[in-house]
Copies of this chain bind each other. A is one copy, B any other.
C-alpha cells in the first residue's frame, strides 16, 4: 500500500475495490470515544443463541425511536441563562454517518424559545411594495406546487470557538455542529411572489418569525427569486417545531438566521430593515474599523468527523478518515486531506451523489504508524473557493469575529492515540492579539 501523501495517507480508491483481494480490511484499527474509560470488554463469543432469540420481541409502534443503547447520541444544548430560550443545541456530527441529519438531531438556534404554533391559526402575510397584499393559511399553502431539495442549513455562528485564542476541547459536533442537512419540501417562493406582484421599487423582503423574539431578517429579492423556498416538510414529514413548524423560509446555502423559522410575514421594501440581527449581531468589526455586514453566503468548509477530538485510536494501523464538506456557493469539487499538518495533501473520495449546497461525505484511508500526527481537511467548491487556513482567516477578519468561522480544522493525535483539537503552528497568526469570544448567544 503505497503512500499518496506523507505520514500514511493512501489512495482514496483503496476501499472501493470489490472482489476478493483487498486483503487490507483486517488491518483496520478501532476509533472510540475517549470517555469510554477502557475498551468495552468484548463478551466471550457465545455460539449459542442470545437471550433475545428466546422470547418474542417488542410490538409495533406508531412512531419509532432510537435504541436505548444509543441514548448518548443527542443534541448538546448550550443556552444563555439570562434570556429564556436563547441559545443553541449542537448536532453530534462526530457520532453520525452519511449526509442526512435525522430530524430529531437537527441543530437548534432560538432567540426566545420554540413557539407551539397551532397551524390552523397560523397565517403568512405578504405585503409592502406589492400590488396584491395577501394572507395565506397553511391549508392554502398546501395547495401550491411543491418541490424538494436536499441542502444544509448552517448557523452564522457555527464554529465560533475557532476565534478563541486557545483551542476549544469539545467534540467535533459540539464545536462545528450548528449545521445539519435535510431534504426540504416546499413552495418555490417565486410562485407566491408572482401572485402578490412586487412593484418595481421592491428590492428586499423583510421576513418575520412568529416566535416571541419576532425575528426579522432582510432578504434580497434576487435570492428570493433564485432558489428560495417556503418549506413545509423536512425529511418527508412536516417540519419539526424547533425547525420552524409549520412554515420555514429556506435560502439554500445562506446563513441559518436568514432561514426564518415560524415564518409569518414577508414585507417587500426598497431597503433592508437593519434589524438587530443584521446590525449589532451577525455583523463584525474588521481590522480596518469597518463593519462586515450582510454576510449571507456560507463559504466552503470541511471537517473530519472521525477520528476527531476526544476520540482514541487504540493501536497503530489502517483507518478510514471520514468527514463532511459543504459550500453555500454550490457543489464541493474536492476535499484534500493531510496527515502531516499540511506539508503534503492527498485527495479524498467524495460520496456520490454530490449535490449543490448540501453535505458531501468524504473518505480516505490512512495508515497510522503510531507516532504523533496532525490531520486536516480542506474543501474546494465549484466557484474555485478554497477553505482558508486559520492564520489567513484571522489576518483578514481580525480578532473581533464571532461569525462565519470556516478555517481548516486540525486534529492532533498523540503517541497514545488520543485525539485533540489544536491550532497547528502554521495556523496561529503571530501578529494577532488573540482574545476569547465572550459574547455568547443572545
Binding site for B on A (CB under 8 A): 15, 18-23, 25-26, 28-32, 40, 42-43, 45-47, 49-50, 52-70, 73-77, 79, 84-85, 87-89, 95-106, 108, 110, 112-123, 125, 135, 137, 139-140, 142-148, 183-185, 188, 190-195, 197-198, 210-212, 214, 225, 232-233, 235-238, 240-243, 245-246, 264, 320, 322, 351, 353, 355, 361, 363, 365
Contacts and interface: CB of A to CB of B under 8 A. Distances in A.
B237 A322 contact: no
Contacts of A47: 125
Contacts of A26: 195
A244 to B, nearest CB: 11
Given A98-B183, A146-B322, A351-B148, A21 B194 contact: yes
Contacts of A197: 20
B233 A97 contact: yes
B145 A363 contact: yes
Contacts of A95: 237
Contact of A40 (B68, B103, B139): B139
Which residue of A53, A96, A140 has the most chain B CB atoms within 10 A of its CB atom?
A53
12 contacts: A28-B145, A29-B143, A31-B142, A49-B214, A53-B210, A58-B115, A60-B75, A62-B76, A63-B66, A65-B104, A66-B103, A145-B365
A194 B25 contact: yes
Please give the count of copies of this chain that the complex contains: 2
Given A113-B59, A212-B52, A139 B238 contact: no
Contact of A99 (B115, B119, B148): B148
Given A73-B238, A89-B62, A144 B25 contact: yes
3 closest Cβ contacts across the A-B interface?
A57-B113, A15-B145, A60-B77
Given A63-B104, A113-B59, A116-B58, A353 B351 contact: no
A60 B114 CA distance: 8
A235 B235 contact: yes
Contacts of A146: 97, 320, 322, 363
A116 B50 contact: no
Nearest to A27: B143
A22 B53 contact: no
A245 B232 CA distance: 30
Nearest to A96: B236
Contacts of A246: 67, 69
B85 A58 contact: yes
